[in-house]
Amino acid sequence: MSDTLRVRWLGRTDYDDALELQHRLHEGTGSWLLLLEHPHTYTMGVRAKREHVLVDPADVGARLVWTDRGGDVTYHGPGQLVAYPIVDVPVEPDSTPRYVHRLEQVLIETLAEFQLAAFALDGYPGVWVDAAAPRKIAAIGVKLTRGRSLHGIALNVTTDLGMFGHIVPCGIPDKPVTSMAAEGVRVSVEDVARVFARRFAVTFGLEARSAGVDWPVAQPASSESATSPVERRLQRAGVSLGEAVPFHARKPAWVRPRVRHGSEVLELKRLVGQLSLVTVCEEAGCPNLSECWKDGTATFMINGERCTRACTFCLVDTSHPLPLDPGEPDRVAAAVAALDLEFAVVTAVARDDLADGGAEAFARTIRAIKLARPTTRVEVLIPDFKGSAAALDTVLEAGPDVLNHNLETVLRLQRAVRPSAHYARSLAVLSRAQRAGFVTKSGLMVGLGESFDELREAMGDLAAAGVSILTVGQYLRPTQWHAPVARYWHPEEFDMIRDYATELGFRFVEASPLARSSYHAKRGSDAAQVLAERA
């Protein structure tokens, strides 16, 4: 029986995020194929010569990155298919040339399906066209470590070939570079990615299971028209709007929480108001507010009430943000101490307007809580800080007990549901935090148009990224301007989700219709800690 190849079309992905994800998957097991485009980036292999970069990359809007693959300098950018296979390769004396030859063959077969004849040129790794006047159309740079592969190929589809004029491509000064478009083949990177994935799976004897951004298996046949940007994005991603739940339709009983504001709830509400604090419980319209506040648990939202992003599921205000309040961390700490909380959750709006994305405010709040009540454990639910490793380090250095960052939805629906975020970036944030020794946590919503198989793949990706705690809950539409509910998942389906996630190795899984990121947060942290001590 053939092994499974998990194919992921990630779209435009920062080089650092892709590299982190590669290394994480390389440390694990299984076969993966990451397909993507990079923003303008020049990468230097282990044998690269700095003089082969002819300009300051910043002057042409590019980054320069030294990396651990073989080869000299090359260019990555929009319109270029980059493929990173992470697969097992037999350890033999000639492992690397054998593997490179197989990649060349996959590229040649892929180009042949678009009626473009290509070949390998002795002494020059990569793939070429036109034997009479060879032009390089695809570069290969790989690394094999402990019998597993890293890095891969870059195939020019509609690439701006002018960007190669700023370097000596692959250290070869006398042979030009070309693209499929320059050779008269007009096709999208996504279409080439599909063919490459299929040819790779066949060549390596693997059974492909694919997922991708805006990459539906089949576009639904429907006549309904999208009336908003949200609906247009969902329709592009393959969601049938005609089957969505009408906004005013009555919800099933299992997603209608009982709201009982007893004395504990009213006291916490009074204290939050008195200290001029914000809770995500109120701002996001959480259905568990009554239950959590009754237990003396609340999720404090820092860095203001206005978010710089406009995720299609969230009720938080997206107007222009105000300056940070320097006294906010101390007031959150005062509330935690007054409530005598053993476990506190701190989240924030996204602040892309700030140089550090609000990371320092997270760090100050963690430290203030630890100072006010040293025994309190702190969970932080952070944004992605636009992928800044330095911003993430700022938060981690403050010593949170749990680092939570939500993936939110399956890969296909990412661009439709959270257009300012990125699937690979979120996985990279979680991977970096776990690699630094922290307990990591993430959450998913269902009911946006995903399938069970897609949900399984997303949970598998989170497990591969080292996540310990998982929450899965039903999406509830805040207003008619937000993403529609595709369907309500039944409680029995949440039981199936919990069972599958547990099999994947998560230390704690909260899967229920009303589960949210911070629901039973202390319970999840306790369970993860106990299982870690037993391991």
In total, the chain counts a number of residues equal to 535
Name 37's bridge partners.
12
Residue 523 annotated as binding site:
no
247: in domain: no
Least confident interval from 249-253, 296-300, 449-453, 488-492: 296-300
In this prediction, residue 111 carries a pLDDT of: 98
Residue 69 annotated as binding site:
yes
- In a 13 Å sphere around the CA of 381, the CA atoms on its Cβ side amount to 26
409: in domain: yes
258 and 202, same structural domain?
no
Which segments within 223-331 are labelled E, that is strand?
299-302
Least confident interval from 159-168, 268-277, 399-408, 442-451: 268-277
257 and 205, same structural domain?
no
In this prediction, residue 517 carries a pLDDT of: 79
Least confident interval from 47-51, 95-99, 519-523: 519-523
Cα angle, residue 433 at apex, residues 429 and 437 outer, rounded to 5°: 165
In this prediction, residue 299 carries a pLDDT of: 79
Show which of 179, 212, 245 is a domain's final residue.
212
Residue 475 annotated as binding site:
no
Active site residues: 170
Least confident interval from 89-93, 314-318, 350-354: 314-318
In this prediction, residue 506 carries a pLDDT of: 96
144: in domain: yes
115 and 65, same structural domain?
yes
264 and 139, same structural domain?
no
280 and 205, same structural domain?
no
Show which of 193, 212, 231 is a domain's final residue.
212
234: in domain: no
Q: Report residue 21's pLDDT band, with 50, 70 and 90 as the boundaries.
A: very high
In this prediction, residue 1 carries a pLDDT of: 36
Residue 292 annotated as binding site:
yes
Residue 141 annotated as binding site:
yes
Average pLDDT, the chain: 89
40 and 181, same structural domain?
yes
The two three-digit tokens of residue 398, written as one number: 């403050």
In this prediction, residue 532 carries a pLDDT of: 63
Report how many domains make up the chain: 2
> At 47, which CATH number?
3.30.930.10
Residue 353 annotated as binding site:
no
In this prediction, residue 320 carries a pLDDT of: 81
DSSP 356-415: TTTHHHHHHHHHHHHHHSTT-EEEEE---GGG-HHHHHHHHTT--SEEE---BS-GGGHH
241: in domain: no
197 and 100, same structural domain?
yes
Rounded Cα–Cα distance for residues 352 and 349 (Å): 9
Residue 203 annotated as binding site:
no
Rounded mean pLDDT, 514-521: 77
Residue 218 annotated as binding site:
no
The pLDDT tens digits of the residues spanning 154-166 come to: 999 999 999 999 9
Domain limits at 117?
A: 3-212
Residue 149 annotated as binding site:
no
239 has a pLDDT exceeding 60: yes
Least confident interval from 214-218, 263-267, 355-359, 428-432: 263-267
> Hey, how many other C-beta atoms are within 10 angstroms of the C-beta on 5?
22
Residue 74 annotated as binding site:
yes
Assign 81 to helix, strand or coil.
strand
130: in domain: yes
Residue 95 annotated as binding site:
no
284 has a pLDDT exceeding 70: no
166 and 61, same structural domain?
yes
Rounded mean pLDDT, 108-133: 96
The two three-digit tokens of residue 68, written as one number: 């651990």
Residue 178 annotated as binding site:
no
Rounded Cα–Cα distance for residues 432 and 145 (Å): 20
Rounded Cα–Cα distance for residues 141 and 154 (Å): 9
315 has a pLDDT exceeding 80: no
372: in domain: yes
281 and 197, same structural domain?
no
Rounded Cα–Cα distance for residues 420 and 231 (Å): 16
Q: Report residue 289's pLDDT band, with 50, 70 and 90 as the boundaries.
A: low
Name 212's bridge partners.
9
pLDDT top residue among 358 and 304: 358
Assign 212 to helix, strand or coil.
strand
> At 290, which CATH number?
3.20.20.70
Residue 140 annotated as binding site:
yes
In this prediction, residue 269 carries a pLDDT of: 64
pLDDT top residue among 246 and 517: 246
Rounded Cα–Cα distance for residues 305 and 335 (Å): 18
The pLDDT tens digits of the residues spanning 416-452 come to: 899 889 999 999 999 999 999 999 999 999 999 999 9
Residue 423 annotated as binding site:
no
Least confident interval from 45-59, 87-101, 209-223, 448-462: 209-223
In this prediction, residue 438 carries a pLDDT of: 96
297 has a pLDDT exceeding 70: no
275 has a pLDDT exceeding 50: yes
243: in domain: no
> Hey, how many other C-beta atoms are within 10 angstroms of the C-beta on 378?
24
Rounded Cα–Cα distance for residues 243 and 447 (Å): 12
In this prediction, residue 363 carries a pLDDT of: 98
Residue 511 annotated as binding site:
no
502 and 404, same structural domain?
yes
DSSP tally for the chain: helices H, then strands E: 15, 18
117 has a pLDDT exceeding 80: yes
Rounded Cα–Cα distance for residues 276 and 224 (Å): 45
Residues 354 and 386: beta-carbon distance below 8 Å: no
31-37 and 41-44 as β-strands: parallel, antiparallel, unpaired? unpaired
Name 301's bridge partners.
347
Show which of 212, 231, 266 is a domain's final residue.
212
70 and 16, same structural domain?
yes
pLDDT top residue among 256 and 18: 18
271 and 154, same structural domain?
no
The pLDDT tens digits of the residues spanning 182-222 come to: 999 999 999 999 999 999 999 999 999 998 888 876 555 55
54 has a pLDDT exceeding 90: yes
516 has a pLDDT exceeding 60: yes
Contacts of 227 (CB under 8 A, 6+ apart): none
